[in-house]
Amino acid sequence: MAGFSSQGPYIFPNGKMNRTQIRTPHDLGEQVRRRRTELGLTQTEIADASRVTLRFVSELENGKESAQLAGIQRVLAALGLDWYLERR
């Protein structure tokens, strides 16, 4: 699902309305790492489930700015996360 906000994009785990504002690649990486560790999964397990490389997951969690959108979407799906955007 998508929408827009003055606050920026948000991530909702498992469709619950726990909003976390994402303003930077580093913010996104922190949330990906937090969710992965909540689930007790390794980076390797998420990489395999998402069909991305271990390096991709590591770089995403470390806030690399050039991460590909398709890979990010697969990682978020594997973690049970959705993104939402709101208008500014």
Give 69-82 pLDDT, tens digit per residue. Answer: 999 999 999 999 98
> Stretch 15-32: mean pLDDT, rounded?
84
d(CA 81, CA 13): 4
The label of the residue with tokens 């909540």 reads 38
d(CA 47, CA 45): 5
Entry pTM = 0.78
Higher pLDDT, 52 or 5: 52
The pLDDT, as a whole number, for residue 4 is 38
Confidence of residue 10 (pLDDT cuts 50, 70, 90): low
CATH number for the segment(s) 25-81: 1.10.260.40
Residue 64 has phi, psi (to 5 degrees) of -60, 130
| pLDDT tens-digit map of 26-61 | 999 999 999 999 999 999 999 999 999 999 999 999
